[in-house]
Amino acid sequence: MSKGANLGEQMARAIDISRLETPSYVTDLGALEANLKLLRSVQNRSGCTILLALKGFAQWSTFPLVRKYLAGATSSSVAEARLAREELGGEVHAYAPAYSEGEMAELVTLADHIVLNSPAQWRRHRAVIQRAGRSAALRVNHEHQEVEVALYDPAGACSRLGTTRANLKAEDLEGLDGLHFHTLCQTNSDALERAVAAFEQKFGEFIPQMKWVNFGGGHHITRPDYDVDRLVRVLTEFKAKWHVPIYLEPGEAVALGAGVLVAQVMDTFHNGMDIAILDTSATAHMPDVLEMPYRPMIVDAGEPGAKPHTYRLGGMTCLAGDVIGDYSFDRPLEIGDKLVFLDMAHYTMVKTSTFNGVRLPSIATHDPATKLITVHKRFGYRDYRDRLS
Ligand SMILES: *Cc1c(COP(=O)(O)O)cnc(C)c1O
């Protein structure tokens, strides 16, 4: 997996962390805007529409910037749809594996485009969606696998995400405006090209009756080695062939390499190897490190043994496995040293927990023009208490 690639190091070095409180997520507005500009150029060149998937990045203090470049957002829940409607504006799309009647009653007041996971969900919610005048689509599963890690592969065997061709009858699509697939994760445009071919092969007969299609997220468009020209060609060819508007809804690509997590060394000691305790946590503040799993990059740190002083970096919780990884440094770590974890804007703030009552990292932005860091949010006891009762 390429997460943890050396993304955003130059940007990270330009942030003056000397007076910054820790732990803090800091998103660099310049890096974020560079991503957004690239995404807008894809929209302009291909005629597709790009939405932000809030599931991956929902730092809403940055939405005034996001709004300048993207058409809107897609949501995975009523709460995300509401955030999109109230804080971002533009088009609001929604998809979830299932909606209750109560959720749908609220969702139709917030989302313009609603994607259902199954024909049964469409039958259950059709009347409410149509009465509200919303546009509905079916998520299909073309069963073409491009993702190596099962946790992130919606097209694998026995998937619950999307309707397979075998489970779809032509009459199930009656009244629907769109088809949606999402089967990519951190992939390049060659994977999209194959996914689109699989989509056409399985569901092509239904495309002419559709008003829109959505090719989901997982497009790693802002990664340095991403083949943007090929993406534009795939989208342009699809539009020329089928004459139907295309949506893309990346999450990760919007914020790739655009933010850091700054933590501080709290203690060091030796037990079989040198160990450092940080004021952050893998499980509470960067859960993908354990879930994916992957090894985040740290500014000025190397692989274990590459530099003279190797440490196992551990978090603040009592979970034995709350370990970020082993890293080496040029000099011994000291209490108070700050460490800068790269590429921490996406799938972090949206996934944190207050496990162990550990304080959540502050949420900040850095303006590269003025060099100013603005802390937009600090967390404390109430955030922990209010999630319980
Ligand atoms: C997760 C998800 C996305 C965004 O995926 P990224 O990998 O962050 O680009 C888009 N659409 C759907 C339906 C998703 O589940």
SS3 assignment for 173-213: HCCCCEEECCCCCCECHHHHHHHHHHHHHHHHHHHHHCCEE
Residue 2 clears pLDDT 80, i.e. is over it: no
The residue with tokens 């390049």 is: 188
Q: Minimum mean pLDDT among 4-13, 27-36, 102-111: which range? A: 4-13
Polymer length in residues for the chain? 389
Residue nearest to atom 7 of ligand 1 (CA): 218
Task: List pLDDT tens digits, range 281-297.
Answer: 999 999 999 999 999 99
Percentage helix, strand, coil, to 5, in the chain?
Answer: 35, 25, 45
Pairing of strands 259-270, 338-342: antiparallel
- Peptide bond just before 23 cis, omega within 30 deg: yes
Residue nearest to atom 14 of ligand 1 (CA): 217
Measure the CA–CA gap between 149 and 179, rounded to whole angstroms.
25
Measure the CA–CA gap between 119 and 199, rounded to whole angstroms.
18
Measure the CA–CA gap between 153 and 144, rounded to whole angstroms.
10
pLDDT category at 384 given cuts 50, 70, 90 is very high
**224 CA to centre of own chain:** 17
The end-to-end CA distance of the chain, in Å, is 39
CA of 234 to the centre of ligand 1 (A): 19
336: left (phi over 0), alpha (psi -120 to 50) or beta: left
The pLDDT assigned to 4 comes to 45
CA of 264 to the centre of ligand 1 (A): 32
Residue 82 parent element (H or E): helix 78-83
Measure the CA–CA gap between 157 and 154, rounded to whole angstroms.
9
Residue 193 clears pLDDT 80, i.e. is over it: yes
Find the DSSP H helices in 243-389: 252-255, 282-285, 288-291, 381-385
Task: List pLDDT tens digits, range 320-362.
Answer: 999 999 999 999 999 999 999 999 999 999 999 999 999 999 9
Radius of gyration of the chain (CA): 22
Q: Is the CB of 154 under 6 A from ligand 1?
A: no
- In the three-class reduction of DSSP (H, G, I as helix; E, B as strand; rest coil), residue 336 is classed as coil
CA of 152 to the centre of ligand 1 (A): 10
pLDDT category at 45 given cuts 50, 70, 90 is very high
Q: Is the CB of 182 under 6 A from ligand 1?
A: yes
Q: Residues 215-242: what's their mean pLDDT?
A: 98
The pLDDT assigned to 314 comes to 98
Measure the CA–CA gap between 142 and 196, rounded to whole angstroms.
9
Q: What is the CB-side half-sphere exposure of residue 236 using CA atoms within 13 A?
A: 11
The pLDDT assigned to 149 comes to 86
Q: Is the CB of 252 under 6 A from ligand 1?
A: yes
For domain 9-26+258-385, give its CATH number from 3.40.50.720, 3.30.365.10, 2.40.50.100, 2.40.37.10: 2.40.37.10
- Percent of the chain clearing pLDDT 70 (strictly above): 98
For domain 47-255, give its CATH number from 3.40.50.1100, 3.20.20.10, 1.10.10.60, 3.40.1260.10: 3.20.20.10
| For the CA of 186, the nearest atom of ligand 1 | 7
Q: Which of 51, 159, 249, 256 to mutate to test the pocket of ligand 1 (most atoms within 8 A of CB)?
A: 249
Averaged confidence pLDDT in the chain: 97
Between 8 and 334, the more confident residue is 334
Backbone angles phi, psi at 174, to 5 degrees: -60, 125
The residue with tokens 């599931």 is: 55
The pLDDT assigned to 3 comes to 47
Q: Is the CB of 63 under 6 A from ligand 1?
A: no
Long-range contacts, 306-313 (Cβ 8 Å, 24+): 309/274, 309/333, 310/273, 310/274, 311/268, 311/273, 311/274, 311/275, 311/276, 312/273, 312/274, 312/275, 312/276, 313/276, 313/278, 313/339
Residue 38 clears pLDDT 80, i.e. is over it: yes
CA of 248 to the centre of ligand 1 (A): 9
CA of 336 to the centre of ligand 1 (A): 37
Residue nearest to atom 10 of ligand 1 (CA): 217
Measure the CA–CA gap between 22 and 254, rounded to whole angstroms.
25
**In DSSP terms, which residues pair with 92 in a beta bridge?**
73
Asked whether the beta carbons of 370 and 31 are under 8 A apart, the reply is no
Q: What is the pTM of this model?
A: 0.97
pLDDT category at 151 given cuts 50, 70, 90 is confident
Longest CA span, the chain: 68
Task: Return the domain boundaries, the chain.
Answer: 9-26+258-385, 47-255
- Percent of the chain clearing pLDDT 90 (strictly above): 97
Q: Residues 213-227: what's their mean pLDDT?
A: 98
CA of 186 to the centre of ligand 1 (A): 10
For the beta carbon of residue 225, count every other beta carbon within 10 angstroms. 8
| For the CA of 253, the nearest atom of ligand 1 | 9
Q: Is the CB of 216 under 6 A from ligand 1?
A: yes
Q: Is the CB of 56 under 6 A from ligand 1?
A: yes
Residue 365 clears pLDDT 90, i.e. is over it: yes
pLDDT category at 6 given cuts 50, 70, 90 is low
CA of 147 to the centre of ligand 1 (A): 13
Measure the CA–CA gap between 375 and 363, rounded to whole angstroms.
6
Q: Which of 74, 138, 246 to mutate to test the pocket of ligand 1 (most atoms within 8 A of CB)?
A: 74
